[in-house]
A = this chain, B = another copy of it.
Amino acid sequence: MYTGSLRRLIDELGRLPGIGPKSAQRMAFYLLKIPNEDAHRLSDAIIEVKNNTSLCPTCLNVADTGELCPVCADSQRPTTILCVVEDPRDIVSVERTNQFHGRYHVLHGALNPLEGIGPEQIRVQELLARIEPEGVEEVILCTNPNLEGEATAMYLARLLSPLGLKVTRIASGLPVGGDLEYADDLTLGRALEDRRTVETD
């Protein structure tokens, strides 16, 4: 039913994460319809990101090749507090909260013994190497609150605490605006466990 080049485009789009056959088809027909220069802009952007992007030599975030990432390049940010995340995308999420103004370290993964991912497969050595030279005083373990993320946080806490650092973990609990009725047992249990005194002054 499709011509060769349309079939190929649908196949390639269908490889993108979260894109099923229907979405791929919809996107392909959209690309068919738009002006040539708009389609070229997307095509060029893909190539450009592959050519011009690598990892920040300091924190391993995404950065323009040969440069520091935007966070590390910002000299206003203190190096004494470090937020450890699994993925460069997580930096975007944390930045959006406006609650953190320190530096980051990207592990590029989480411990997962079943899939053969141990401490050597993620960027733990690079993290350790930063602690002293940068004068880090607190490390916030901001890995995902799932099995792998918790294991990674626990592992890092054991590794970092003896160095005399303050090591903290992001809180788990009910989402803001959430509903007790729809909370899962584990989350509600954790919210109870981590309950805090209400300040009334």
Q: Which residues of A contact B (CB under 8 A)?
A: 1-6, 8-9, 11-13, 15-19, 23, 25-32, 36, 38-53, 62-64, 69-71, 87-89, 91-92, 95
Contact (Cβ within 8 A) B27 A70: no
Contact (Cβ within 8 A) A43 B47: yes
Contact (Cβ within 8 A) B15 A38: yes
A62 — which chain B residues lie within 8 A by C-beta? Answer: 2-3, 6, 29, 32
A-B contact pairs, 11 of them (CB 8 A): A2-B62, A4-B64, A5-B45, A15-B38, A16-B31, A18-B23, A29-B87, A31-B46, A31-B49, A32-B62, A42-B46
Copies of this protein chain in the complex: 2
Shortest Cβ distance from A69 into B: residue: B3
Are A46 and B9 also in contact (CB < 8 A) when A17-B27, A30-B16, A32-B62 are?
yes
Bound CA–CA A41/B9 (angstroms): 9
Are A89 and B25 also in contact (CB < 8 A) when A1-B95, A15-B38 are?
yes
Contact (Cβ within 8 A) B1 A71: yes
A15 — which chain B residues lie within 8 A by C-beta? Answer: 38, 42
> A6 touches which one: B5, B31, B49 (CB < 8 A)?
B49
